[in-house]
């Protein structure tokens, strides 16, 4: 079967792959001949900036959003891919705080809408993620696709996608080329994008792509290089004029845009000039390539160390690596190529477009999935087997949290070590602690450390509704599976009674993200923002005449106004109250998280001295949570009172404000 068999049949959606990047995103598809092709956006550009700007009438995505950033930086968002999957993290954009998954979904929606006039309606796609993304970030990326109205067929690691595109360019999927089936090579994919860095070593054996090891940094990329240049220019300005351009949001936003242009110029020229404007002063700052390389030397060395360790962990040396494939726009920085030549003794392979290779590989993988699905319903012998086999590894170890038998401290027991070929499985046996036990709760983490607090908490594996009457000490086998795309599933069985079922992973950070249109309306202020914290019921109708009851009702209404206003951009006189409410809300989230951890810790141990200590910690955590709730409520009450007193219009609480006015009039009379 050739790649041409991966393309769509008449009337079907062609295979589509999306590179959802930190700074730029793009979409590609397989044409009728099976060739991966990038689809330009509505303005004719191949790359769409992963940037959002909210103006009065619309949510703007892409290059126009970047152009508008300097006008109103508070309404602009970028680099949110770095925060995707982070519990409780929201970006302040315009009038409200938005989860990073929603911002990513807006970018995906823009790519979808721009591509559909070219290839027709798009529903099923493959989306790429950095190889070093943990399971939480992978799940959040799939959620962003769902919000954008897409069915995510699968997610694929960016370095693996780039390797597939490289294999296609080498003709490895062309059955007419006999040499392709005998092609054997070990390559390193060095992927340095705008916000993330990955290094992956793969073995190519004909059409089999096997990842051997991966490592990286989800907070290292071109944006960090930009920051060094921004700081250099700003400090030159500060030294010359005594004022800092970074202190003004608009001037700082414009400086970031100008610095990016200078960085691109330094990739081709030995010097570039940045014009910095602040406080009515315009200053030209010249930067040489040598100066820029000195600024970013430690960042480049971080990637060098990661690449060297990845090779060493496999017991290899650089002579065992046949090719170093460059991926990601930041690999255009000359210092990167120089470092790799010195480190590997090889000329880096730039044969693939560093911007497009990942999306092309994703489209090829989407075609492979489509062909695999069609093979189950088709008698066509050409579709009997896929033309490409991908074997990935897990970038983080999977473990469970238990009590060390000697130290009696919590410890991470690793079940599936990092860089294990996927799919992978491991079975962990537990025993019931008491007769007729009906459930088992086991914390699940990703990470290499023995200390659970140093790992990424995925949630709790909850085995529910065990058969009744089980004796104490009954053996329960819990099986953990890493899928080929890095997602995790769990099942449990009791051999003695032939019990078996899938198991829920209860996650702390689960949240209802609503739909994209609701979030767009919130961003534009066309829908009422949540006027109370989650879980607080609406206020019932009030008909009381007692003064104390009216005052209590008034405070409740003002508090609701405060909860709505804290999500908005308020006038300067109200800014201090808003900051106080935000600070109190963040403190409440932290102590609530502390309380949940204390509850999990207590449930994980049986009777004994450790249980007494944990009981005391739990009581203290509950008291701190109650105090934080009171402080948060009071701060929002104060903000609501200030908003009403200043006549600031808060969307979504019109009825509350009307009742506040009525109550105030009754209290005065």
Q: How far apart are the first and last CA of the chain?
A: 86
Residue 509 pLDDT = 45
Q: Is the pLDDT of residue 514 over 80?
A: no
Last residue within a domain, chosen from 243, 270, 297:
297
310 and 385 belong to one structural domain: yes
How high is the pLDDT of residue 4? 59
pLDDT of residue 78: 93
In this predicted structure, the answer to whether residue 529 has a pLDDT above a threshold of 60 is no
Q: Identify which has the larger pLDDT, 446 or 266.
A: 266
pLDDT on residue 543: 58
- Do 85 and 215 share a domain, yes or no? yes
Is 11 inside any structural domain?
yes
Mean pLDDT confidence for 297-308:
95
- Higher pLDDT among residues 64 and 578, named by residue: 64
Q: pLDDT tens-digit profile of 580-610?
A: 888 887 788 778 778 777 776 766 666 666 7
Residues 319-369: tens digit of each pLDDT: 999 999 999 999 999 999 999 999 999 999 999 999 999 999 999 999 988
Is the model more confident about 135 or about 346?
A: 346
Output the six-digit token pair for 113. Answer: 């809408």
Judgement on whether residues 283 and 340 belong to the same structural domain of the protein = no
Q: Name residues whose C-beta falls within 8 Å of residue 617's C-beta, 6 or more positions apart in sequence.
A: 598, 601, 602
- 325 versus 134: the higher-pLDDT residue is 325
- Same structural domain for residues 115 and 18? yes
The phi and psi torsions of 156 (rounded to 5 degrees) equal -135, 145
Q: Is 178 exposed, middle or buried (0-12, 13-18, 19+ CB in 10 A)?
A: exposed
The whole-number pLDDT of residue 82 equals 87
Best CA proximity match to 100, nearest among 126, 73, 76, 82: 82
Q: Report how far residue 168's alpha carbon sits from residue 36's, in angstroms, rounded to the nearest whole number.
A: 9
Quick count: other Cβ atoms within 10 Å of Cβ 91? 18
Residue appearing with tokens 């003709």: 171
Q: List Cβ neighbours of 279 (8 Å cut-off, separation of 6 or more).
A: 241, 243, 245, 248
Q: How confident is the model at residue 3, as a pLDDT?
A: 59
Q: Which domain holds residue 273?
A: 222-297
Mean pLDDT (the chain) is: 84
Q: Are residues 178 and 322 in the same domain?
A: yes
Q: Regarding beta strands 410-416 and 398-403, do their DSSP bridges make them parallel or antiparallel, or are they unpaired? A: antiparallel
- Count the Cβ atoms, other than its own, within 10 Å of residue 71: 13
Q: Same domain for 76 and 177?
A: yes
Instruction: Mark which of 356, 373, 391 sits at the end of a domain.
Output: 391
pLDDT in the model for residue 178:
53
Q: State both tokens at 369.
A: 């999935």
What's the CATH code of the domain at 438?
2.60.34.10
Residues 226 and 210 in one domain: no
* Structural domain contains residue 374: yes
- Judge whether 265 lies within some domain: yes
Give the pLDDT of residue 436: 86
pLDDT of residue 245: 94
Q: Is the pLDDT of residue 15 over 90?
A: yes
CA nearest to 430, candidates 486, 493, 481, 380? 493
Q: Is 215 helix (H, G, I), strand (E, B) or coil?
A: strand
According to the per-residue pLDDT averaged within each range, which of 305-309, 502-506, 507-511, 640-644 is highest? Answer: 305-309
Domain limit, last residue, from 345, 366, 391: 391
Instruction: Let me know if residue 522 belongs to a domain.
Output: no
Q: Tell me: do 412 and 547 sit in the same domain.
A: no
Q: Does the pLDDT value for residue 512 go beyond 80?
A: no
How confident is the model over 425-453, as pLDDT tens digits?
998 887 777 888 887 777 888 888 888 88
What mean pLDDT do residues 258-276 have? 94
Flag whether pLDDT at 177 surpasses 70. Answer: no
**Is it the case that residue 53 has pLDDT exceeding 90?**
yes
Taking residues 36-59, report their average pLDDT: 92
pLDDT at 536: 38
Residues 580 and 618 placed together within one structural domain of the fold: yes
Over the Cα atoms of the chain, what is R_g?
Answer: 28
Whether residue 170 is found in the same domain as residue 286:
no
Q: How far apart are CA 170 and CA 29, in angstroms?
A: 19
Indicate the burial class of 231 (C-beta count within 10 angstroms; 0-12, 13-18, 19 or more).
middle
Contact between 667 and 554 under an 8 Å Cβ cutoff? The reply is yes
What the block records as the tokens of 203 is 């073995």
Give domain status of residue 579, yes or no: yes
Alpha helices in 381-452 (DSSP H): none
- Strand-pairing partners, residue 125, are 152
Q: Tell me if 480 is assigned to some domain.
A: yes
Residue 603 vs residue 489, higher pLDDT: 489
Please give the model's pTM, rounded to 2 decimal places. Answer: 0.74
Query: Does a structural domain hold residue 518?
Result: no
Task: Please tell me the total count of domains within the chain.
Answer: 4
Question: What pLDDT is recorded for position 331?
Answer: 95
Tell me the CATH number at 18: 3.30.420.40
**Could you give the 3-state DSSP secondary structure of residue 226?**
helix
The string of pLDDT tens digits covering residues 211-239 is 999 998 888 999 999 999 999 999 999 99
Could you tell me if 499 and 429 lie in one domain? yes
3-state helix, strand, coil in the chain (%, to 5): 45, 25, 35
| pLDDT score at 385 | 46
Q: For residue 531, what pLDDT band results from cuts at 50, 70 and 90?
A: very low
pLDDT at site 7: 62
Same-domain pairing of 184 and 44: yes
In the prediction, which pLDDT does 530 show? 40
- For residues 169 and 484, which has the higher predicted lDDT (pLDDT)? 169
Task: Match 């210092």 to its residue by tokens.
Answer: 335
Q: How far apart are CA 605 and CA 246, in angstroms?
A: 51
What pLDDT does 42 receive? 92
Confidence of residue 132 (pLDDT cuts 50, 70, 90): confident
**Cis peptide bond N-terminal to 423, omega within 30:** yes
Half-sphere exposure of 578 (CA within 13 A, CB side): 17
| pLDDT of the residue at 625 | 80
372/349 Cα distance (integer angstroms): 31
| 523 assigned to some structural domain | no
């Amino acid at each position: 079967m050739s790649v041409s068999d991966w393309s769509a049949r008449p009337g079907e959606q062609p295979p589509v792959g999306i590179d959802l990047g930190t700074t730029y995103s793009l979409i590609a598809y397989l044409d009728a001949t099976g060739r991966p092709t990038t689809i330009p956006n509505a303005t004719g550009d191949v790359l769409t900036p992963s940037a959002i700007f909210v103006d009065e009438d619309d949510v703007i995505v892409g290059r126009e959003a970047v152009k508008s950033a300097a006008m109103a930086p508070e309404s602009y968002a970028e680099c949110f891919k770095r925060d995707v999957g982070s519990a409780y993290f929201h970006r302040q954009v315009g009038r409200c705080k938005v989860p990073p998954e929603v911002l990513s979904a807006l970018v995906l929606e823009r790519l979808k809408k721009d591509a559909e006039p070219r290839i027709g309606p798009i529903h099923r796609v493959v989306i790429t993620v950095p190889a070093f993304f943990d399971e939480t970030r992978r799940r959040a990326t799939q959620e962003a696709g769902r919000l954008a109205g897409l069915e995510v067929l699968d997610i694929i690691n960016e370095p693996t996608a780039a390797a597939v595109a490289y294999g296609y360019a080498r003709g490895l999927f062309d059955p007419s080329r006999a040499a392709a089936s005998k092609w054997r090579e070990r390559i390193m994919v060095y992927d340095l994008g705008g916000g993330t860095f990955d290094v992956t070593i793969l073995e190519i054996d004909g059409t089999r792509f096997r990842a051997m090891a991966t490592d990286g940094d989800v907070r290292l990329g071109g944006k960090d290089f930009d920051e060094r240049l921004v700081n250099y220019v700003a400090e030159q300005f500060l030294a010359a004029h005594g004022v800092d351009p970074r202190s003004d949001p608009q001037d700082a936003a414009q400086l970031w845009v100008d610095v990016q242009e200078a960085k691109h110029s330094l990739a081709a020229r030995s010097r570039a000039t940045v014009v910095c404007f602040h406080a009515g002063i315009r200053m030209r700052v010249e930067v040489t390539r040598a100066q820029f390389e000195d600024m970013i030397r430690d960042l480049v060395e971080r990637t060098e160390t990661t690449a060297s360790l990845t090779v060493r962990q496999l017991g290899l040396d650089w002579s065992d690596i046949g090719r170093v494939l460059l991926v990601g726009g930041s690999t255009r920085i000359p210092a990167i190529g120089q470092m790799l030549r010195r480190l590997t003794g090889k000329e880096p392979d730039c044969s693939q477009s560093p911007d497009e290779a990942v999306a092309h590989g994703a489209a090829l993988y989407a075609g492979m999935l489509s062909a695999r699905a069609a093979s189950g319903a088709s008698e066509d012998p050409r579709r009997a087997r896929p033309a490409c086999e991908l074997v990935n590894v897990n970038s983080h170890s999977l473990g469970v949290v238990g009590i060390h038998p000697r130290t009696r401290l919590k410890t991470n027991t690793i079940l599936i070590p990092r860089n294990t070929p996927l799919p992978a499985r491991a079975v962990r046996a537990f025993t019931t602690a008491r007769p007729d036990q009906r459930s088992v709760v086991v914390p699940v983490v990703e990470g290499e450390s023995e200390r659970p607090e140093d790992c990424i908490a995925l949630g709790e594996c909850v085995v529910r509704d065990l058969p009744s009457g089980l004796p104490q000490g009954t053996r329960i086998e819990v099986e953990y599976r890493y899928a080929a795309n890095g997602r995790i599933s769990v099942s449990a069985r009791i051999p003695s009674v032939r019990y078996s079922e899938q198991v829920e992973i209860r996650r702390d950070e689960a949240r209802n993200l609503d739909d994209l249109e609701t979030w767009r309306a919130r961003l534009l202020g066309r829908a009422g923002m949540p006027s109370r914290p989650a879980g607080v019921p609406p206020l019932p109708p009030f008909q009381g005449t007692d003064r104390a009851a009216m005052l209590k009702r008034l405070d409740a209404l003002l508090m609701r106004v405060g909860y709505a206003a804290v999500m908005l951009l308020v006038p300067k006189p109200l800014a201090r109250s808003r900051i106080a409410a935000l600070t109190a809300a963040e403190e409440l989230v932290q102590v609530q998280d502390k309380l949940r951890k204390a509850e999990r810790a207590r449930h994980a141990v049986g009777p004994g001295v450790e249980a007494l200590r944990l009981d005391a910690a739990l009581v203290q955590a509950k008291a701190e949570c109650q105090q934080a709730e009171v402080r948060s409520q009071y701060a929002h009450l104060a903000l609501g009172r200030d908003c009403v007193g200043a006549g600031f219009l808060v969307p979504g609480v019109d009825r509350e404000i009307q009742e506040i006015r009525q109550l105030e009039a009754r209290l005065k009379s």
